[in-house]
Structure formats: C-alpha cells, structure tokens
Amino acid sequence: MLRKIALHFGLILACVVVVLPPLWALRTSLVPESLAYSTDIFPGWSWENYQGLITKNDFLTHYGNSLIVSLCSVAVAMPFAAATGYAFARFKTGGPAARFIMLATQMLPAVALVLPAFALLRAMGLTNSLVGLTLVYAALNLPFLTWILMSFFEGIPVDLEWAAMTDGASAWGAFRYIVLPVSLPGLAAAAVLGFILSWNEFLFALVLSGPQTATIPVALAALQTSNGVQIGKVSAGVVLAILPLIIASHFIQRYIVKGLTFGSVK
C-alpha cells in the first residue's frame, strides 16, 4: 500500500513539473497581450489571441497543413521503416556499415541539408507543396524510425518466428502475422515519434513551403516580430498544437498498455 502511494506521489510530482509550463501557456493565451506578464493568475479574460491567430495569421490553414503532412509522412515512412528495421534486426542486412551510414545521415545539422534538398524538390516541381514536404519528412524520419523498430524487433524472442516458419510460413508471413502484432507497442511508439518529429520540424518547413503551405512551427516563429514577441498568440498556438498529441497518445495508450501474447509460444 505504501508502495502504491509512493508510486502515485512520484508520478504526480513528475506531472506537475511537466504540466505547469503548458498550463501557464494556456493561461497566457486567454489573457490580453498587454497583461501577459502580469503576475496575477487571471488579470483579465480575452479571446483576442485565438481570434487574432485565426483571422490575422491564417492559423487554421497552417494547422491543417501540419496535420496532413505529419500523418501522411508517418503513414508513408512506417512500412519502409518496419521492413528495413526487421532486415537489420533479423538478417543483419548490410552489416554494421549499412545501419551506421543510415544513422549518420541524421548527424548532419539540418542546415547543411536543406539547401540541396530545396534544389532537388525544385527540380521535381515539388516545392511549395505539401506532397514535397511529406516526402522529405518521411525520408528524414526513416532512419530514426528504422533504428527504433529494429531495437524493438531485436527484443522479441525469435522462437515465435521460428515456430511459425517450422509450420510452413514464409519469412514475410512470419513478419506480417507474428512479429508485427507482437511488436505493437513499438510500432505505436514509433508512429507517435514520427508524427511528433514532423509536427515540430521547422527548418525544412520554412524553406520548402510557401505562405499557403506553411506549417505550425513556421507560423509561430513568425510571431517574433521586431516589435517584440506576441507571447499571447504564441501561447494560444502552443495550446492548439498540443491538442492532437494528447488525443494521439490517449489513442496509442491502448497499444502500449495491451497485454501481450507471449503465452502463444507455449
């Protein structure tokens, strides 16, 4: 019983530290801009920040763009990442070199890659389009997702696939019907990660998109004007940007918490 209390105390403490800044952002978003730095908790109530974002800064368009690009880039990247991760985990394809080179593409600061990426997309006629950005994000996130899934696959006992293959399944069959279901927590976590990486990415979005196809990070960064930071609107944008993630992680919960079927080996 004491253990339970200590557990919950620890978690509540962690939640408080984690949640207070966004809560303050929520508060600031509902307060007029000029009172943003007031030390009262609620010096005044106003919707002006949300209104301003939506009417003057075209925020809903950017929001929609972010949603489309993030969801699609994950949908596109995951199959590739899963297949390649499986190859790395079980078949050691390409040896240590392949996986490290793949990872090494992530080690260059984005700055160095954006400019040639722009040239490439321009040649394909995909600049200023959500399709172009989706493809780039899918490719950018692929190495990380591959590595994460690879590590999850490595953690699954190989007996399961072996049992299936002894029963006559092909490698693909074993992968599709045995490994994938069992690795649902890993897939879910990777999907959320991929979504977040795309949702928060700034540099490529700035370069590769135009006024109509800009995403949320670009829109919010523009709120730093030479006349000061419009912190009220930034806070409103942050609050709106967090919402899909809360929904997504609640949804993903089930897969991560779900009891797993290791008993099937017996």
Partner 1 sequence: MLTKTSAVCLRKPKPGVAGFDRFRLTGWAFASPGLLALAVVLGFPVIYALMLAFSSFTLMRPALAPFAGIDNFTSVLSDKAFWSAAWLTVKYSLITVAGEFIVGLGIALMLNRVVKTRPLYFALLTIPMAMSPVCVGLIWRMLLQPNLGIVNHLLESWGWPRVDWLGSPTLAFLTMAFIDIWQQMSFVVLILAAGLAALPREPYEAAEMDGARHWQQFWYITLPMLRPVAAITVVIQLINELRTYDLPYVLTRGGPGTATEVLSFFAYRRAFLGLSINEGAAAALALLLIVLAMTVVFFAMLERRR
Partner 2 sequence: MLLKNKILCLSGLVMLSAAMGAQAKEVVLRALMEDVPETHIIEQMLPQFEQETGIKVQFEKIGYGDMHDKLVAQLIAPQSYYNLLEVDFLWAGEFPTANWLTDLTPLVKKSKFDTRAFIPSTVSLLNHDPEKLYILPMYNYSMGLIYRTDLLTDKTVAQLYQDATQKTLALPKTLEDYVTLAKFIKQKQGIAGAAMQGQRGDPNSMEFSNYLFAAGGEYLDGKNQVVLNSPAGKQALTLYVDAIKNAAQDGALSATLDDTMRLMCSGKAFSMITYWWMLPQLDNQKACPAVAGKLALAPMPGGHGESGGWGWGIPKNVSPEEKQAAWTFIQWVQSKHVETERALQGHAPVRADVYKDPAVLAKFPYYQTAEQVVATGKSFPIFTYSAQYEDVLGTQLSQVAGGNGSIDAALAESATQLEKLLKK
The minimum distance between CB 22 and partner 2, in angstroms, equals 21
Residues 245-264 that bind partner 1 (CB under 8 A): 245-246, 249-250, 253, 256-258, 260, 262
Burial class from Cβ neighbours inside 10 Å (0-12, 13-18, 19+) for residue 89 reads buried
Q: How many C-beta atoms lie closer than 10 Å to residue 244's C-beta?
A: 17
Burial class from Cβ neighbours inside 10 Å (0-12, 13-18, 19+) for residue 92 reads exposed
- Name the strand (E) or helix (H) holding 224: strand 224-225
125 binds, among partner 2, partner 1, none (CB under 5 to 8 A by kind): none
The minimum distance between CB 202 and partner 2, in angstroms, equals 7
Total interface residues for partner 1 by CB under 8 A: 113
Residues 5-34 that bind partner 1 (CB under 8 A): 7-8, 10-11, 14-15, 17-19, 21-22, 24-25, 28
Q: Give the phi and the psi of residue 139 in degrees, each rounded to 5.
A: -70, -40
In 3D, which of 191, 110, 182, 178 has the Cα closest to residue 148?
Answer: 191
Q: Which residues bind partner 2 (CB under 8 A)?
A: 34, 37, 111, 114-116, 118-119, 122, 202-203, 206-207, 211, 221-222, 224-229
90 binds, among partner 2, partner 1, none (CB under 5 to 8 A by kind): partner 1
Strand, coil or helix: 229: strand
d(CA 180, CA 129): 33
Q: Is the Cβ–Cβ distance between 70 and 201 less than 8 Å?
A: no
Contacts 24+ apart (CB under 8 A), 45-49: 48/232, 49/232, 49/233, 49/235, 49/236
Q: Does residue 93 interact with partner 1 by CB under 8 A? A: yes
Residues 143-182 that bind partner 1 (CB under 8 A): 143-144, 146-148, 150-152, 154-159, 161-162, 165, 171, 175, 182
Strand, coil or helix: 214: coil
The minimum distance between CB 256 and partner 1, in angstroms, equals 5
Q: Give the phi and the psi of residue 94 in degrees, each rounded to 5.
A: 75, 0
Q: Does residue 209 interact with partner 1 by CB under 8 A? A: no
Q: Does residue 97 interact with partner 1 by CB under 8 A? A: no
Q: In the stretch 43-62, what mask flags binding to partner 1 with x, by CB under 8 A? A: --------------------
Choose which of 57, 88, 194, 209 interacts with partner 1 (CB under 8 A). Answer: 88
22 binds, among partner 2, partner 1, none (CB under 5 to 8 A by kind): partner 1
Residue position matching structure tokens 């806070």 = 235
Residue 135 vs 213, nearer CB to partner 1: 135
91 binds, among partner 1, partner 2, none (CB under 5 to 8 A by kind): partner 1
Q: Does residue 110 interact with partner 1 by CB under 8 A? A: yes
Helix 59-86 to helix 130-154 angle, to the nearest 10 degrees?
40
Q: Give the phi and the psi of residue 54 in degrees, each rounded to 5.
A: -75, -45
The minimum distance between CB 112 and partner 2, in angstroms, equals 9
- Contact segment (CB under 8 A) with partner 1 among 46-54, 55-63, 135-143 equals 135-143
